[in-house]
Amino acid sequence: MTPRLAVHKAKKVPQRTCVGCRQVLQKRQLIRLVRTPEGVRIDPTGKLAGRGAYLHDSRTCWEKALKGAMGAALKMELTETDKLVLKEYASRLPEADTSDGDQVQ
């Protein structure tokens, strides 16, 4: 009788698409936003209940997403309060896209 060798399967890494630039990356490399009854919230843990959307930690991706793709991804109309909160958060992010090292001009 031959001993069985343990076969280790590679663990699947969840992939998500950035709403701003449409680049697919590992889930942990993106910031999750979630639709809640109170409005859109930033979900640093990635575990809040509700429909989510993902963005790079790049101001340019956030600006693109806020022009329309974010509302579509969350299947809701963003309120002015939601937009204000998200723009305030985006203003603290770096302007360059850190995912691929290219500088935005």
Spacing of C-alpha 83 from chain mean position: 16
pLDDT of the residue at 10:
84
Please state the pTM of the whole predicted model.
Answer: 0.79
pLDDT of the residue at 105:
34
Q: Is residue 69 part of a domain?
A: yes
pLDDT in tens, the chain (105 residues): 666 777 778 889 999 999 999 999 999 999 999 999 999 999 999 899 999 999 999 999 999 999 989 999 999 999 999 999 999 999 999 886 544 444 333
Q: Which domain holds residue 87?
A: 15-91
* Cα 49 to Cα 35, 81, 99, 101, distances in angstroms: 8, 21, 26, 32
Query: Residue 72 is part of a domain; what is its CATH number?
Result: 3.30.1230.10
Q: Give the total number of structural domains in the chain.
A: 1
Q: Is residue 78 part of a domain?
A: yes
Compute the CA torsion angle 76, 78, 82, 84 (nearest 10 deg). 160
Q: Is residue 87 part of a domain?
A: yes
pLDDT of the residue at 1:
61
